[in-house]
Every structure is written in structure tokens, then in C-alpha cells.
Amino acid sequence: QDHLVCFLPGTLALGAHHGLPADHMELARALMDTCYQMNRQMETGLSPEIVHFNLYPQSDHKDVQVKPADRHNLLRPETVESLFYLHRLTGDPKYQDWGWELLQSFNTYTRVPSGGYSSISNVRDPLNPQPRDKMESFFLGETLKYLYLLFSDDPDLLSLDAYVFNTEAHPLPIWAPP
């Protein structure tokens, strides 16, 4: 599974909130758990770009396998975006807890001495995650924005009934037809 598809739990949850079948929310929760596990099962707590599911896991193996070329983390926003939507729409605090774990992992393994953040080459090696000396702009524009909103105590801050976020996490007002 490509990390980019971790936007889907949030999209399904938003659809269920706006009248689509309730089982969309059940699927959103299950997929969110999968995206969370993609992070949790890595030694750094950060998801690689791509995982392959181990359909027949042994007791001494993880549920996912990671090929060496896919071990990097680019500080992507999709998982925290979905955590934000699921927390806002369900009120379940576990999504904030999971977001806190991700933020701690970002701070531990991707923060650089100058105060910025860097993508890393190896999420499997907490002793040497191999910083890449590159921070994509979406880390500031999306990942940190969704983390801020996830931890906000004000549910009306950019209410999901009044705003929609575009693919780059820009809030756009929902206008009623004239």
C-alpha cells in the first residue's frame, strides 16, 4: 500500500458525515487503523512510502514488509489528514493520541539541529534514519496544519460544516446556493 492512499479514511468519514452510507464510516475507521499500523510497526514510528502486506504473517514477523527502495519517509500529510477528519467527526480521542505519536516520531527522527525537518531514507533504522537534507513544502502547508487542527480544542475552528479543504489543505468556505 502506498502511503498516499491514507487520505481515503478521511474522505470516507467526510462522506458518511454528509449522508453517504454509515458503513463508509466503519470502513474509514478500519482503514485508519491500517494506516496507523503502517507507522506503528516501523522502528521509527514513521511509515515508509510503500508497504507490502504479509497475507500469511508468522508470529515472528510484522504484518507488513518493506522493500529497501521504499524505506523512505517524505513527511507526507495523508495519515494526519485522516486522523484530523476522524477525530473531528467521531470525537474519539485515540486519533489525537495517534497523531501525538506521529508528531513525537517526526520530532525524534526528522528534526534537524537548525530547527527544521528533513525527509529520511530509512524508517527501519532509529539509530541512523539517514536524513535527506530536504523538506517538502507540504510538510509545513499540510502535515503540520492538520496536526495543529487535530490538537485544537475548538471544534468550530474551520468547522467541517462550514469549510472544505482542497488537496493542498487550503480551507475553502462552503457557500449555500443563492
The structural domains of the chain, with segments of one domain joined by +, span: 3-173
Task: Identify the DSSP state of 139.
Answer: I
| Apex 163 CA angle, 159 and 164, nearest 5 | 120
Tell me what percent of the chain is helix, strand and coil, each rounded to the nearest 5: 45, 10, 45
Query: Are 135 and 119 spatial neighbours (Cβ–Cβ below 8 Å)?
Result: yes
pLDDT above 90 as % of the chain: 87
Q: Which fold, 3-173?
A: Glycosyltransferase (1.50.10)
Query: Are 121 and 72 spatial neighbours (Cβ–Cβ below 8 Å)?
Result: yes
pLDDT above 70 as % of the chain: 97
Is the confidence at residue 2, as pLDDT, over 90?
no
Confidence (pTM): 0.94
**pLDDT tens digits for range 72-86:** 999 999 999 999 999
Q: Which of 171, 151, 169 is nearest to 159 (CA)?
A: 171
Residue ranges for the binding site? Answer: 167
Task: Identify the DSSP state of 132.
Answer: -
Is the confidence at residue 15, as pLDDT, over 90?
yes
- Give pairs for 15-21: CB < 8 Å, separation 24+: 16/89, 17/89, 17/160
Residue ranges for the binding site for Ca(2+)? Answer: 167
Is the confidence at residue 168, as pLDDT, over 80?
yes
Residue 63 has a pLDDT of 81
Enumerate the active-site residues.
49
